[in-house]
Amino acid sequence: MDVQDVEELGWSVIKRNHVMETARGEGYFALYAGTVLLDGQEVTIPVPALVWDS
């Protein structure tokens, strides 16, 4: 997701500068605690948001 989108949702950052491989090479992501509904039950999942890529 885009950083502006997850911040607009009010999700909290759980980790910054998390390095992950992308199709373009390494990217730096912030991991957010995203809240979603699954079968009517609220669940928190990690959601990566790209900060910048190399």
Number of domains in the chain: 1
Q: How does pLDDT run across 5-50, given as a tens digit for each residue?
A: 998 999 999 999 999 998 989 999 999 999 999 999 999 999 999 8
How high is the pLDDT of residue 3? 86
Nearest to 45 by CA among 2, 11, 10: 11
Range of the domain at 17: 3-53
| Structural element, H or E, at residue 4 | helix 3-8
Q: Which amino acid is present at 27?
A: G
How high is the pLDDT of residue 54? 63
pTM for this prediction: 0.79
pLDDT at 52 over 90: no
The better pLDDT of the pair 10, 54 is held by 10
